[in-house]
Amino acid sequence: MILNIYIIILLYFLLGGIGFYLINRNKDKKTAQNSLIKYITYFIIINVVYSSIVFNSSAFHYLAILIMVVASIEFIKLFIQTGYAYKGFFMVSSMVYILLCFGFFLFSKLSMETILFSFLVLSIFDAFSQISGQLFGHKHIAPAISPNKTLEGLIGGALAAMAGAFILGKLLDLPVFFDFFIAGGIIVFAFVGDLASSFYKRKYGVKDFTNLLPGHGGFLDRFDSLIAGGAFVAMIIKLLIPNI
């Protein structure tokens, strides 16, 4: 099954590569190169996280801790760099962030199948929302917060993620409607989490938290949706189906 799932991942990346080619074929050389760097970096990230999930039962747990530690440093560092501006906003944001991180920590201790299903659904949504948004996007959802997010991108990413949830449903061994329910919650939390992260950055006047990951920014830029989506899954699993 693991091999079949990896083949599915490669097929999705092939489709994503075609999408990126269509997006960048008429753009200037520098823009195309930056897009290629982003695509390659994303491929490496996906493989690292995927390997940590399927080849060692505790590796993802420690990777999740690393993600949270580095992301938290970025989160706090931005507040410090801006001269401790908007203290009330920072406190509220910190409380929300801590709750999500606690949920993500619980998520990292769930079964391999649950983590893998959630991670792949979220990754498909994230990648194809960007691709469909750049190919077909016209109606901006929150231009003042995240100018690149469009309704068409959201719909395209959600449809691709739901298709992925249907294909990967055997991982959870649950009724199909529950697979779709979990996938839908992941999509909502991932989107809102990413939007909240963008709002935090705009409040402090920056585009990215750091530049640690080429083409993606910092750890929190890359993993904000995973933290939020994982927190949702942990909440649902702990409340409704604690035996998986």
Tens of pLDDT, residue by residue over 198-225, are 999 999 999 999 999 987 889 999 999 9
- CA 15 to CA 156: how far, in whole Å? 13
The predicted pLDDT at position 88 comes to 96
Helix (H) or strand (E) holding 147: strand 146-150
**Is the pLDDT assigned to residue 242 strictly greater than 70?**
no
Alpha-carbon dihedral sign for residues 175, 181, 187, 193? negative
Q: How confident is the model at residue 25 (pLDDT cuts 50, 70, 90)?
A: confident
d(CA 103, CA 108) in angstroms, rounded, equals: 9
* pLDDT value at residue 239: 81
Torsion of CA 185, 237, 100, 146, to 10 degrees: -10
CA distances from 232 to 109, 185, 241 (A): 14, 7, 13
Q: Please report the pLDDT score of residue 13 as a whole number.
A: 81
The vertex-98 CA angle with 209 and 200, nearest 5°, equals 35
* Of 200, 188, 201, nearest in space to 228 by CA: 188
Euclidean distance between CA atoms 40 and 128, whole angstroms:
15
Q: Summarize pLDDT for 97-122 with one digit per residue, the tens.
A: 999 999 999 999 999 999 999 999 99
CA 44, CA 32: separation in Å to the nearest integer?
19
SS3 label, residue 122: helix
DSSP state of 211: -
Note the pLDDT of residue 23: 77
For residue 244, pLDDT over 70 is answered with no
The residues that bridge with 146 in the sheet, in sequence order, are 142
CB 37 within 8 A of CB 26: no
Q: Are 103 and 112 a contacting pair, CB within 8 Å?
A: no
Give the model's pLDDT for residue 243: 63
Higher per-residue pLDDT: 23 or 156 = 156
CA distance 121 to 157: 10
What pLDDT score does 18 carry? 84
Give the pLDDT of residue 173: 83
Q: Residue 97 in contact with residue 75, Cβ under 8 Å?
A: yes
- Give the SS3 label for residue 180: helix
For residue range 63-104, list pLDDT tens digits in order.
999 999 999 999 999 999 999 999 999 999 999 999 999 999
Q: Please give the structure tokens belonging to residue 222.
A: 């890359």
**So what's the pLDDT on residue 14?**
85
Cα 190 to the chain's mean position, in Å?
Answer: 6
Q: What is the pLDDT of residue 12?
A: 80
What is the value of pTM for the model shown? 0.92
